[in-house]
């Protein structure tokens, strides 16, 4: 079955710097890759997603890139702010009528003011 590896497990940056989180997946049939943000004590919430027919997607300070050949995708956060501090999870899915999300182990991002 699908396996998703996420790195790094912790990341500390200064406010205003960029942050990059990387994930790899094992099943080449996976075609949907969402990213969730979980603030301390709260529920995971979708922040951005990408489908396999797209190489990059941006939403303000957040962007996701996908390399299908290498089977890896990344989350990029620019101009980080303290409120970006959270745990970020990547996930992969086969999509369609089946295909639950397989989550990475998460990256704890700390943005220092």
Partner 1 sequence: DAGVIQSPRHEVTEMGQEVTLRCKPISGHDYLFWYRQTMMRGLELLIYFNNNVPIDDSGMPEDRFSAKMPNASFSTLKIQPSEPRDSAVYFCASSKRAGGNNEQFFGPGTRLTVL
List the structure tokens of 90: 């990547």
Q: What is the DSSP string of 46-87?
A: EEEEEETT-SEEEETTEEEEEETTTTEEEEEE-S--GGG-EE
Residue 79 beta carbon to partner 1: minimum distance, rounded to whole angstroms: 25
Nearer to partner 1, 51 or 61 (CB): 51
Residue 18: CB minimum distance to partner 1, A: 25
**Site for partner 1, rule CB under 8 A:** 32, 34, 42-46, 49, 51, 89, 93-106
Question: What is the spatial distance between Cα 64 and Cα 56, in angstroms, rounded to a whole number?
Answer: 6
Least Å from the CB of residue 86 to partner 1:
14
């Amino acid at each position: 079955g699908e396996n998703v590896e996420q790195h790094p497990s912790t990341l500390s940056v200064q406010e205003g710097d960029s942050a990059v989180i990387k994930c790899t997946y094992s099943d080449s049939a996976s075609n949907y890759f969402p990213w969730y943000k979980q603030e301390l004590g709260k529920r995971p919430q979708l922040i951005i997603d990408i489908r396999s027919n797209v190489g990059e997607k941006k939403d303000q300070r957040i962007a996701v890139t996908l390399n299908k050949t290498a089977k890896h995708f990344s989350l990029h956060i620019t101009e980080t702010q303290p409120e970006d501090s959270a745990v970020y999870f990547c996930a992969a899915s086969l999509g369609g009528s089946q295909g639950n999300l397989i989550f990475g182990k998460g990256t704890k991002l700390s943005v220092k003011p």
